[in-house]
Structure 1
Amino acid sequence: MRIWVARPEPGAARTGARLAALGHRPLVAPVLAVEPTGIDLPAEAFAGLILTSANAASALAPEDRARLRTIPTFAVGARTAAVARALGFADVRAAEGDAHAVARLVRESLPEGAHLVHAAGAERKAEPAASLVAAGYRLTVRELYVAQVVARLPDAAADALAAGRLDGALHYSRRSAQAAHDLANAAGLGGAFGDLTHYCLSADVAVPLVTAGVAVHFVPDRPGEDALLAGLPAPGPTGFR
């Protein structure tokens, strides 16, 4: 398949390489650009650190990494956990791929009333903060990065859509799915975008597409890149659909 990877870097290139290894033809053309906000974490003691994306882990200041490296670190999934370990965190616990799973993991690991810090992005959702605060935990949230929508549809994606050279698209976040849809429409290519076979990391990611009337072909039972890529068809006799 000829597949558009719209997620931001650094994840986009990694996903593209995985697609190529599976025999597909990736088009890596991000619609979001991740930038650090320059915000540091409070200089106080915490019982745990919450990371709901690999971008949040990477955006931590070196001094914050050093100071918090030995406390329990709750990562949203395996990829974020791997990044945290690579950055030197010693006690990393991976949830099953979404914010509700992070909240469950914290409740299973730390007593009620524990004070945690959540390293987040500017476009964060209500969870896991809402569930943890309701369960009696104290939570400090700091927005360490922001994902900006690019000014226009990347030329490579526009050209491929216009020429019918794409079969599908992978969507890793609600925001990138919304941005891909909106940018394609703004470029006059909404019809071509809607005709793609869309693969979404979770039901939450699929919401903007479903709301816009775009058919979503596949959502894995559990969020995770392995499960998402497992939903792709095997390359045919010619290697592509």
Structure 2
Amino acid sequence: MGGDCEGARDNMRIWVARPEPGASRTAIRLRDLGHRPLVAPVLAVAETGERLPAGHFAGLILTSTNGVAALRPDERARFRDVPTFTVGARTGAAARAAGLRDVRIAGGEARALAALVAASLPRGSTLLHAAGAERKAEPAAALAEAGYALSVSELYATRIAPSLPDALLDALGARALDAALHYSRRSAAAAHDLAGTHGLGGAFRALTHYCLSADVAVPLVAAGVAVHFVAERPDEEMLLAGLAASKPSGI
């Protein structure tokens, strides 16, 4: 267990480190819950300009709303009626809003997405993953193990911010922040490292840290940072519900 927290608090000043546009959406949710967000992304998402390859694909894999946003109008039209498998509900909603009609949503995890594909398409089918340049081994590993051929197009990439904004540095330096929300392993590591670069590693450690999953918490734990709360499944609703947790349930 981690985090020296005496109990749940209202009106917390919370650092939202995730990239846009998700950071602003989260800030709205936090305000609705009575907290004061400080939006300071440590990663920025940019399209690579890569196009989807020609050829027939039995299914389209989407593991992030960034992949949906990077699809060009002609690519959306091309895959309009192709079975589209998304890792979670938010990506699924974005896919439908983009005009994709046959959207099938997994339970928020990459291996669950692979299981959904296996229940929907015959072995040997060729799939296309509209992915980011930085990605995890799943769902590619599970799909390959299940007998599927996967082609990957890197449509977007995330870059670490060169520094933290003055507003965040001032808040950290004054110990005016209560908590930080972490949505990915890479952003958690970047937040930790950037705070240290500015000589504010101690202030960062003193925050109450909330993580979307155990995987997200890995770089913090490796750095000796106590994690107060880890969501049982990688879902924002569960993560935000954890803000009311009176006892640590982290690592």
Deviations 1:12-67 (A, max 9, x none): 00000010011111011100110000001112111111111111111112111110
1:146 and 2:157 matched? yes
- 1:1-241 aligned at under 5 Å gives the runs 1-233=12-244
Q: Deviations over 1:200-241 (max 9, x none)?
A: 11111111101111111111111111111111128xxxxxxx
Structure 2's unaligned 5+ residue stretches are 1-11, 246-251
Query: How many angstroms does 1:128 deviate by?
Result: 0.4
Distance 1:184 1:98 in 2: 29
Greater relative contact order (Cα < 8 A, sep 6+)? 2
AA paired with 1:186? T
Distance 2:216 2:73 in 1: 31
CA contact (8 A) 1:74 1:102 kept: yes
In structure 1, what is the Cα distance between the partners aligned to 2:167 and 2:109? 31
Given that 1:30 and 1:154 are in contact with CA atoms closer than 8 Å, whether structure 2 keeps it comes out as no
Structure 1 segments unaligned to the other structure (5+ residues): 235-241
Tell whether the 8 Å contact from 1:96 to 1:223 is kept in structure 2 after alignment: no
Distance 1:100 1:2 in 2: 35
Percent of residue pairs bearing the same amino acid type: 70
Number of residues of Structure 1 aligned to a counterpart in Structure 2: 235
Q: CA deviation at 1:154?
A: 2.0
AA in 2 matched with 1:18: R
**Which structure 1 residue ranges, 4+ long, deviate > 3 Å from structure 2?**
none
1:129 positional shift: 0.4
Q: What secondary structure sits across from 1:231 in the alignment? A: helix
Counterpart contact for 1:31–1:154, Cα < 8 Å? no
The aligned amino acid for 1:65 is R
AA partner of residue 200 (structure 1):
C
Q: Which residue of 1 aligns with 2:248?
A: none
Alpha-carbon RMSD = 1.2
Between 101-110 and 128-137, the greater mean CA deviation after superposition: 101-110
Separation of aligned partners in 2, 1:197 and 1:108? 40
Q: SS in structure 2 opposite 1:161? A: helix
Helix, strand or coil: the match of 1:141? strand
Contact 1:76-1:97 within 8 A present in 2 as well: yes
State how far apart, in whole Å, the 2-side matches of 1:171 and 1:105 are: 27
1:21 maps to a residue whose letter is D
- Normalised TM-score (structure 1): 0.95
Deviations 1:51-106 (A, max 9, x none): 11111111112111110011111111111111111111111111111211211111
